[in-house]
Structure 1
Amino acid sequence: MFKDQVDEILQKAIRRRASDILFLPKEGQYVLKFNIMGVAREVAQLPLAYGLQIINYLKFKADMALSEHRRPQVGAYLLEDKDNKKVFGRFSSIGDFLGHESLVIRLIYQETNVNESYFFPEQLQRMQAACAQKGLILFSGPVGSGKTSTMYNLVRSLEKGQVMCIEDPVEIYEPAFLQVQVNEKAKMSYAELIKASLRHRPDVFIVGEIRDPETAQIVITAALSGHLILSTVHAQNAWGVVRRLLDLGVSPTDLQQTLQIIVYQRLLPTREGRIKALFEELGVSEIPWDKLEKVTVRQMTPEWRKKLEKCFYNKWISEETLHKYLKG
């Protein structure tokens, strides 16, 4: 009975194509919310004890420590929709100062028709062409903007040999790839795992994030040695990725030699009630390498505005969405 009730919550979120399921403590109870098209909507209020029971059950499923209620934890669990299609659940929990635990489940869907997930399939084709070369394919965008899904879709389309994924945590279950997870306590950092993975002779790397000088340098070294590497960098737009890597100690010469394309990604709600990805793409030949100090890192490229306005004129998005995303 209890298991059926929890399963119904999960299936209801999947049917509505929610991106997140949130169990949040509030004033002696739990509030259940679904994040749908970027808006967290309340769907139920649960008694405190019952909410905790659900959280413990889901933590058990995701192989998380049941005895820990305050420190942050992450886990994963493979779900299925009504058609038996896999939905990857990424779990994250943390406790507040009162010891009340919250749980967020990120739902990652496997799209049957990848092109239907993008406003302009030609943008994906440009990325695929870049992936046919060796070097760096870099992504930026807010948390939850679909960067990992895009990287996985790109690599699946390549039909390459050995693919090595290094993430913190692993976000998408893909049995065709060799997936390893960062564990700082066990001295398994991004940099250490990349070094160890090079001995496996992978054809392609997916690196969850370049976030420190050591990881940046080992990624550049791997790219210079002839590997294809897809990774993410925290930045507000494509130009910001260049500045961020320079700040991490990457030389302009090495970056110019290894970079193929930078992609800034956002997920926009459509008038049809779906979510689609829009990209800002910056190729290596479009970067003024001799004038990097004059690059305005907070500015989107003109192409972003053109694509966004085309989405509006084609009545794919609302005017509200147009103005909301003009600056990325």
Structure 2
Amino acid sequence: MTTIVFTYLFLGGVKLSVEKLSDLLAVSLKKEASDIFLLPEANHYVIKLSIAGRIHFFERIEQALGTQIINNLKYQANMMLSEHRRPQTGALLIATHVYGRISSVGDFTGRESLVLRLIYEKKIAGRYFFPEQYQKIVTGVQKKGLILLAGPVGAGKTSTMYHVARQLQQQVMCIEDPVEIYEPAFLQLQVNERAQMTYARLIKAALRHRPDLFIIGEIRDEETATNVINAALSGHSVISTVHAVNVYGVIRRLLALGVNLEDLAQTLKLVCYQRMLPVVTGGNKVLFDQFPFSISEFIEHNGSQEMTEKWREDLEECLAKKWITRQTFQRYVEG
């Protein structure tokens, strides 16, 4: 059983908020929820859990109790307790091998909503339906160039990048917003827009350290895309994430951010779209759709909103081996 190592701040001496937060975290970890939502509604708060990609109602609590729980979480994540309207982000350790990433924002009345992302550091063994897919990424990062991961929120992209990086046992530098998983063996830098420590600026500074592998949390703008490509062109190994609906969408997204197709041909080695699928025996496993980049194949499928043929074949194999249900197959067959 996972031991919760979270410590709590007693705000106003209200023990109930501590107990409620403990119970909420215990249930969320048991169900392997990917996100916990605390959302203000009228004069109360609604708590929802995201489990295997679906949002489930959990509980409705009093507004004062919801505020106390939010303040407890913000305190542990080193966020400003006095700020209730502007967006804030933070990170914290939730339990043994479970990390949390917090995002909060207030509405026009100053009532805050908060989302707590739960990131599970599971053992590699048994985490993937087809270990050879994971091994393809490990092999790829040992060469110079760029590997990109895509997939919806909670698909496990960050965990995959960290699992892969640990296999190298070499110098790894991470640039994230925020740092989601604490790894003392890596040099981890955190984006701070207020201090002008952007993705782009941190990448430029980090190049002087010449790490064996860069982990870039997310390519979200043109400047970051340019610097990631330049890092790969200069002979570094880089792994990062991009928001896209499939492997072909990753390429389209980079082109929209101003990346040259010829530069992609020189740097981009592998594109992976991943989903976390519920398993019949309980829990979840990762399935990848992988595309070793080639200009000709991309041109052939440009504009396609579909997954590759291999994705369906792998899903059919998962169904035939009774790893997943027919319902799961139907739900994920299009990505």
Q: Tell me, what secondary structure is at the counterpart of 2:125?
A: helix
Aligned equivalents of 1:91, 1:306: Cα separation in 2: 37
Decide whether the 8 Å contact of 1:64 with 1:75 is kept in 2. yes
Match of 1:99 among 83, 87, 110: 110
Give the match's secondary structure for 1:153. Answer: helix
Q: Secondary structure at the match of 1:115?
A: coil
- The superposition leaves residues 266-302 of structure 1 with CA deviations (integer Å, 9 ceiling, x where unpaired) of 1111222311111110113x5417x727633322110
Of the three residues 307, 317, 321, the one matched with 2:314 is 307
In the alignment, structure 2 segments of 5+ residues that lack a partner are 1-14
Asked if residue 120 in structure 1 is aligned to residue 135 in structure 2, the reply is: no
Q: Does 1:147 align with 2:157?
A: yes
Q: Secondary structure at the match of 1:117?
A: coil
Contact kept, 8 Å, 1:243 with 1:297, in 2: the verdict is no
Distance 1:138 1:206 in 2: 10
| Among 74, 77, 83, the residue aligned to 2:92 | 77
Q: Distance in 2 between matches of 1:299 and 1:18?
A: 27
Match of 1:256 in 2: 265
Matched with 1:55 is 70
Read off the aligned partner of 1:288 and give its amino acid letter. Answer: S
Moved more, 205-214 or 291-300: 291-300
Pairing of 1:164-203 with structure 2 (within 5 A): 164-203=173-212
TM-score (norm 2): 0.90
C-alpha distance in 1 between matches for 2:257 and 2:54 = 34
- Of the three residues 9, 17, 30, the one matched with 2:45 is 30
Q: Deviations over 1:103-133 (max 9, x none)?
A: 1111111112x13111111111111111221
For the residues of structure 2 that align with 1:13 and 1:251, how far apart are their CA atoms?
Answer: 43
259-268 or 317-326: which moved more?
317-326
Aligned counterparts of 1:311 and 1:302: Cα–Cα separation in 2: 15
Deviates more, 1:203-212 or 1:34-43: 34-43
Matching residue's letter, 1:156? R
Three-state SS of the structure 2 residue aligned to 1:288 is: helix
Structure 1's unaligned 5+ residue stretches are: none
Residue 327 of structure 1 deviates from its aligned partner by: 1.4
Q: How far did residue 150 of structure 1 move?
A: 0.7
CA distances 1:16-65 after superposition (whole Å, capped 9, x unpaired): 32212222222311122232222333333211111111111221111111
Contact 2:141 2:213 in 1 (8 A): no
Distance in 1, matches of 2:65 and 2:226, equals: 48
Shift of 1:90: 0.8
Residue 305 of structure 1: CA displacement? Answer: 0.8
Distance (Å, rounded) in 2 between the aligned partners of 1:29 and 1:233: 36
Q: Is the 8 A contact 1:265 1:280 kept in 2?
A: yes
TM (norm. structure 1) is 0.92
- Residues 62-81 of structure 1, C-alpha deviation per residue, up to 9 Å, x if partnerless? 1111111122111111122x
Aligned partner of 2:323 in structure 1 is: 316
Cα offset, 1:4, TM superposition: 4.2
Q: Secondary structure at the match of 2:244?
A: coil
Q: 1:294 to 1:123 in 2, by over 3 A?
A: closer
Paired with 1:87 and 1:294, the residues of 2 have a C-alpha distance of: 38
Q: Select the residue among 136, 160, 166 that pairs with 1:156.
A: 166
Give the counterpart letter for 1:327 in structure 2.
E
What SS is found at the alignment partner of 1:58?
A: helix
Partner SS, residue 180 of structure 2: coil
Q: CA deviation at 1:166?
A: 0.8
Q: Give the Cα–Cα distance (whole angstroms) in 2 for the partners of residues 42 and 217 of structure 1.
A: 41
What secondary structure is seen at the aligned counterpart in 1 of 2:74? Answer: helix
The residue number in structure 1 matching 2:305 is: 298
Question: Relative to 1, partners in 2 of residues 1:40 and 1:248: Cα closer, same or farther, differing over 3 Å?
Answer: closer
TM-superposition CA deviations, 1:205-243 (whole Å, max 9, x none): 001112222222221121122111001122111111122
The answer as to whether partners of 1:136 and 1:259 remain within 8 angstroms in 2 is yes
Query: CA–CA distance in 1 between the matches of 2:216 and 2:334?
Result: 27
- Letter of the aligned partner of 2:296 in structure 1? P
**What one-letter code is carried by the residue in structure 1 that aligns with 2:168?**
L
* Separation in structure 2 between the aligned mates of residue 228 and residue 102 of structure 1, nearest angstrom: 38
Preserved CA contact (<8 Å) 1:59 1:75:
yes
Cα separation, 2, equivalents of 1:252 and 1:78? 40
SS in 2 for 1:123: helix
- Output the aligned Cα RMSD: 1.8
Task: String of CA shifts for 1:130-167, please: whole Å, max 9, x gaps.
Answer: 1221110111111221111111111111112x211111
- Alignment of 1:109 with 2:120, yes or no, is yes
The residue type paired with residue 243 of structure 1 is R
Task: Give the 4+ runs in structure 1 shifted more than 4 A.
Answer: none
Partner of 1:271 in structure 2?
280
Tell me the amino acid that sits aligned with residue 319 of structure 2: F
Moved more, 212-221 or 142-151: 212-221
Which of 207, 216, 231 is the aligned partner of 1:222?
Answer: 231
Aligned to 2:22: 7
